[in-house]
Amino acid sequence: MTTLFRNRIAAGQQLATELEAYANQADVIVLALPRGGVPVAYEVAQALNLPLDICLVRKLGLPGQKEFAMGAIASGGVRLVNEELIHTLAIPQKTIAEVEALELKELERRDRVYRGDRPLPLLQNRTVILIDDGLATGATMRAAIAVVKSQHAKQIVVAVPVAPESACKELTAQVDQVICLLKPTPFHAIGSWYENFDQISDDEVTRLLAQS
């Protein structure tokens, strides 16, 4: 039986030990993908004495199968879609546009709630550690990477507790380093690898960001 993470806090603490080389470095910043990535990233940022912020990304889920991504959108007008999947499943453009409009609304709402008047962090010439509670297809992380690249980061590190080997390999070609603690086969859903995988509330996200 593959070891499970007790919860996101424990996963973040384990991830921090793999990222110790980045501790106390003035040009390093931790960016979490809300909501699930925030408690994981908070533990990393606290352990390594690094600033924490968020990278707002929304998955474009298939109608009726929201967990299965046909693409993703992110702050700053970033939009990535899986053209091959859309073609294979013959998903109408109207359906994609409807999903995108809904997710854009949620992206804007989260920006208001989580960031308020705080300015976006400056990423130019910095090492950015992107953290989520896990990867399935990697669509949202690819959108986050596109955001960070557009701001001319010096180095990009993707760090997650759990992901399929295929997603890690794909991202390795796009960033400087990928750190993943668990690469189970077969993969199943991210939540399968946590004993406690409760939904994270907006209040918890804002509390952790304020504490950091």
Mean pLDDT of the chain: 93
Range list for CATH 3.40.50.2020 in the chain: 8-57+116-211
The total number of residues written for the chain in this structure: 212
CA atoms within a 13 Å half-sphere pointing along the CA-CB vector of 126: 19
Which residues, in sequence order, are CB contacts of 183 under 8 Å at separation 6+? 162, 163, 164, 165, 168
DSSP letter, residue 87: H
What's at 58, amino acid-wise? R
Range of lowest pLDDT (33-37, 137-141, 179-183):
137-141
Q: 139-150 vs 165-172: helix axis angle to the nearest 10?
A: 20
* Half-sphere exposure (Cβ direction) of 161: Cα atoms closer than 13 Å: 32
Token pair for 204 = 């918890």
For residue 208, report the phi and psi dihedrals to the nearest 5 degrees. Answer: -65, -40
User: 200: which 2 tokens?
Assistant: 């994270």
Percent of the chain with pLDDT over 90: 82
Q: Indicate the pTM of the whole model.
A: 0.92
pLDDT, tens digit (0-9, with 9 covering 90-100), for 184-211: 999 988 999 999 999 999 999 999 999 9
Q: How confident is the model at residue 5 (pLDDT cuts 50, 70, 90)?
A: very high
CATH of domain 8-57+116-211: 3.40.50.2020
Residue 117 pLDDT grade (very low, low, confident, very high; cuts 50, 70, 90): confident
Distance CA 85, CA 14 (A): 34
Residue 177 clears pLDDT 60, i.e. is over it = yes
Segment 97-124 mean pLDDT: 92
Residue 96 in contact with residue 81, Cβ under 8 Å? yes
The predicted pLDDT at position 2 comes to 58
The pLDDT of residue 30 is above 60: yes
Q: Please give the Cα distance from 22 to 79 (Å, whole number).
A: 30
Would you state the pLDDT for residue 196?
A: 95
Residue type, 177: Q
pLDDT for the residue 37: 98
Strands (E), 105-151: 127-131
**What confidence tens digit (pLDDT) does each residue in 37-83 have?**
999 999 999 999 999 999 999 989 988 887 778 999 998 888 999 89
